[in-house]
């Protein structure tokens, strides 16, 4: 009789890892943002997402904040797709990022996003969620009818809403991001260098980036974290993770 753990390791459509990609921001490019999170050993939860994101102002300083860190469960050999310029996508990610094991991420509180269909023609599952949010708001108002943050933070629905998103085409605007296989962590995500599986970056930047990461501190120098180019295929990534000499990693000798 087989153990499910042994079978899952052979499923190439399921990933053992979660990837957090960085992007260009107003002040810094994706590479700088990657280095910043490696130095801080923290990925900050800056954006409120989910079906109660509009209540972020009232919940942001509580355990039920709607601000999250986002990851993708896409298998590593398909991470090239995540950094393409895709029409209609909300964010444009660059080929820089950081890889964690799914086991470590789950222990830290990461959870898959739950997508609810809002396609016209059948009952929306988002209706009951919106009703629960509305009831929570109604129960959290003071005498003057204003929302009180401390009361709002007592409502359990807000532990769930950061992980709930919509999919479908209800009004001519398609919202289909389930293929990203997103996972989220509520609040800042902290890690140690030895918990990092690999760092993603273009191959042309590997030599310089490796030196910069090692120079952060002794823990990063000791880790010697593998660098993977997200455009590589699986075999090339395996060679890098195994630390095979690059001259020996190709299909024929250099």
Pairing of strands 189-190, 42-43: antiparallel
> Would the pLDDT of 6 be above 80?
no
Q: Which of 2-6, 109-113, 115-119 has the lowest mean pLDDT?
A: 2-6
Higher pLDDT, 9 or 79: 79
Locate 253 and state its tokens.
């000798």
- Site of tokens 């990925």: 43
Using left for φ > 0, alpha for ψ between -120 and 50, and beta otherwise, residue 109 falls in: left
Average pLDDT, the chain: 90
Kindly give the pairing relationship between strand 111-112 and strand 182-186: antiparallel
Q: pLDDT, tens digit, for every residue of 80-98?
A: 888 887 776 667 888 999 9
pLDDT tens-digit map of 10-29: 777 778 999 999 998 888 99
The answer to which of 71-75, 96-100, 130-134, 172-176 has the lowest mean pLDDT is: 172-176
User: Where does the pLDDT of residue 144 fall: very low under 50, low under 70, confident under 90, or very high at 90 and above?
Assistant: confident
Across-strand partners of 147? 141
| Strand-strand pairing, 97-101 and 17-21 | antiparallel
pLDDT single digits (tens) 182-206: 999 999 999 999 999 999 999 999 9
Residues 64/158, Cβ–Cβ less than 8 Å: yes
The reported pLDDT for the residue numbered 88 is 66
C-alpha distances in Å from residue 87, one per residue of 17, 25, 57, 125, 174: 26, 19, 31, 27, 11
> Would you kindly state where each structural domain of the chain is located, as residue ranges?
16-113+181-248
Question: Do residues 184 and 111 touch, judged by C-beta distance below 8 A?
Answer: yes
Quick check: 172 pLDDT over 70?
no
Among 88-97, 122-131, 144-153, the least confident range:
88-97
Q: How far apart are CA 41 and CA 38, in angstroms?
A: 5
């Amino acid at each position: 009789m087989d153990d499910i753990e042994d079978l899952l390791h052979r499923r190439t459509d399921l990933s053992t890892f979660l990837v957090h990609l960085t992007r260009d921001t107003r002040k810094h490019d994706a590479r700088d943002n990657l280095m910043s999170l490696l130095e801080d050993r923290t990925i900050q939860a800056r954006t409120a997402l989910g079906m109660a994101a509009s209540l972020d102002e009232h919940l942001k300083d509580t355990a039920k904040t709607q601000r999250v860190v986002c990851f993708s469960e896409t298998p590593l050999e398909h991470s090239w797709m995540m950094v393409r310029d895709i029409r209609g996508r909300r964010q444009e990610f660059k080929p820089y990022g950081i890889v964690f094991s799914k086991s470590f991420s789950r222990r830290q509180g990461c959870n898959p996003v739950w997508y609810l269909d809002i396609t016209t023609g059948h009952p929306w599952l988002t209706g009951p969620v919106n009703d629960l949010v509305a009831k929570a708001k109604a129960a959290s108002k003071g005498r003057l009818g204003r929302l009180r943050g401390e009361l709002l933070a007592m409502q359990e629905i807000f532990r769930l809403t950061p992980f709930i998103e919509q999919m479908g085409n209800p009004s001519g605007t398609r919202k289909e991001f389930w293929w990203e296989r997103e996972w989220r962590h509520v609040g800042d995500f902290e890690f140690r260098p030895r918990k990092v599986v690999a760092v993603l970056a273009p191959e042309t930047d590997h030599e310089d980036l490796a030196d910069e990461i090692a120079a952060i501190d002794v823990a990063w120098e000791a880790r010697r974290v593998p660098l993977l180019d997200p455009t590589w295929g699986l075999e090339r990534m395996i060679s890098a993770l195994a630390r095979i000499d690059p001259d020996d990693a190709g299909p024929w000798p250099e």
